[in-house]
Amino acid sequence: MSPRIQQLAAVLLAAVVVVAAARDEPAAAKNYQTQWDTVMSILNCKSDSLIPSYICSVISKSRWGWASDDPNDDDEYTPDHPLPAPAAERRRWPVMTSLNLTKYVDALPRIAKIQGYGIRHGRPVPIKLTIGMYSKTWFYTNGSISIDREWKPEYFGLVITVNGKAWPYLRVRRRRYRLRILNASNARYFNVTLSNGALPFTVIGSDSSYLSRPVTVSNLVLSPAEIFDVIVDFSRLPAAVTEIEMLNTAPYPFPNGTQTDPNLDGKVMLFKVAGKGKVDDMPDKSKVPEHGVPYASVAALPPPTTTRYIVLYENQTAPGNLYINGLRLEDPVTETPKSGTTELWQVINLTQDNHPLHLHIATFQAIKMTKIEGFQVFKDCMIKNNNTATCNLDQHAVGPVVPVPEEEKTWKNAVKIPPEFMTSVVVAFRLVEANQPYPFDATTEPGFVYHCHILDHEDNAMIRPLKLLP
């Protein structure tokens, strides 16, 4: 196996471990569990196509696979281009479009939970890992796939799928439900609400940890790969209300792109609520906890020992190519933190997109966002010199400070980096739950990576190596 293949294999293994770790729940937090819970994995697929979510995810990550899975398919089907004659031996089938698909006809499937971990070759790996794979919503009636072949900065679809179903529904009773909401889209952000502002979300956790205390909010903004663990109390609904929609209003690209269509990507799913007088055969004895976990705050860890400046660029001469600190993945490693330490990363976004920053092995959380004044002057200087000192960052990072939303004040798997801001992120290269060093050697080769979790950006080089030192 070549060194390059070994490095990529290690990167993929690290990705699996990080995702699995985000789903693990500390035993001390069992009081969060209710008798009814649902895992919701939200994706967006192409507007004229319906496919299972696992295929959507694979296609989104494979920049070299933008075609039908039928090798005999080399013609595009359009209403003005009839199907080829049977003698042509081509099987282009009619398309189910986002416009002619009836919403809220499929029940929400249940996704199996990760069962646990095993140790293989000295590394923790998930075992009995099952992801939802459902085969009833397809691009074509024969199951073949066809999506854009062009390399694009971001790929957005208008068909919203949840657990593999396009715009499904979930029957609920008038009781509390725990919803684990994951944005599994490649590039789309979600700003979800429950219709008519009827019900809030009580957030108890996000990504890698529970919160210090529950937070009640009317909406949730989810970047790709971000998770919120929430409680929704359907018993608070008026008797006349029997249906509640989950809606999405996040522009794409986020935050300054195209507005959602209220009849397409503006809808996520439907909750069908049982009648007020219906007897619940399982009385709701759950309650929202008053407190979370003590280690959710950055104050629970030692103060940062090192400050790093991480700058996100977009190559204006070749749109679609994005870089971190002006470097590629193949360039020598420049981030070499000591294992067991805590660092402060000042992440500067010179692009117009919000980027979800993700680090392998580390846990982290944003603590503040500072507006960059004189942004265009600073950006032009950085493109020319790629040096924060030369470009007088201390004279530009003096704008208004925007606080981190309360529901995001915990250890994260992805933090949002807004455009024209410097986001201060505390990064822990240690176990935050126990405030202890890793119980394994994290300094071995080939190391790890950090990157934007918009898959299109990650594949377009907004990714860098990360090497821990003893």
pLDDT at 318: 59
Shared-domain flag, residues 102 and 167: yes
Task: Give the dihedral sign, CA 383/404/337/23.
Answer: negative
Shared-domain flag, residues 238 and 301: no
Shared-domain flag, residues 263 and 391: no
CA dist., res. 348 & res. 332, Å (int): 21
**Lowest mean pLDDT, pick from 1-15, 87-101, 283-297, 432-446:** 1-15
In contact, 106 and 168? CB cutoff 8 Å: yes
Model confidence band, residue 78 (pLDDT cutoffs 50, 70, 90): very low
Model confidence band, residue 122 (pLDDT cutoffs 50, 70, 90): low
Shared-domain flag, residues 238 and 304: no
Shared-domain flag, residues 303 and 267: no
User: Is pLDDT larger for residue 414 or for residue 461?
Assistant: 414
| 155 has pLDDT over 50 | yes
pLDDT in tens, 260-273: 999 888 999 999 99
Nearest-5° angle of CA 457, CA 148, CA 107?
90
Exposed, middle or buried, 307 (CB in 10 Å: 0-12/13-18/19+)? exposed
Q: Which residues pair with 162 in a beta bridge?
A: 42, 165
Listed residue (426, 414, 410) closest to 297, CA to CA: 410
Shared-domain flag, residues 357 and 423: yes
| b/e sequence 83-98, b meaning 16+ C-beta within 10 Å | eeeeeeeeebbebbeb
Q: What is the pTM of this model?
A: 0.77
| Residue recorded with tokens 């309650």 | 287
Shared-domain flag, residues 338 and 269: no
- Tell me if residue 129 falls in helix, strand or coil: coil
Structure-derived torsion over alpha carbons of residues 444, 446, 450, 456, reported in degrees to the nearest 10: -160
Evaluate whether residue 322 is within a structural domain.
yes
pLDDT in tens, 190-208: 999 999 777 999 999 999 8
Q: Which domain holds residue 183?
A: 27-66+97-137+147-273
- Give how many domains the chain has, as a whole number: 2
Shared-domain flag, residues 124 and 263: yes
Q: In whole angstroms, how large is the CA radius of gyration of the chain?
A: 23
Shared-domain flag, residues 58 and 118: yes
pLDDT at 30: 34
Q: What's 431's domain CATH number?
A: 2.60.40.420
Shared-domain flag, residues 262 and 337: no
Q: How many CA atoms lie within 13 A of 55 on its CB side?
A: 23
Shared-domain flag, residues 324 and 189: no
pLDDT at 460: 84
User: Is pLDDT larger for residue 445 or for residue 118?
Assistant: 445
- Element holding 328 (H helix, E strand): none
pLDDT in tens, 322-353: 899 999 899 999 999 999 999 999 999 999 99
Shared-domain flag, residues 51 and 168: yes
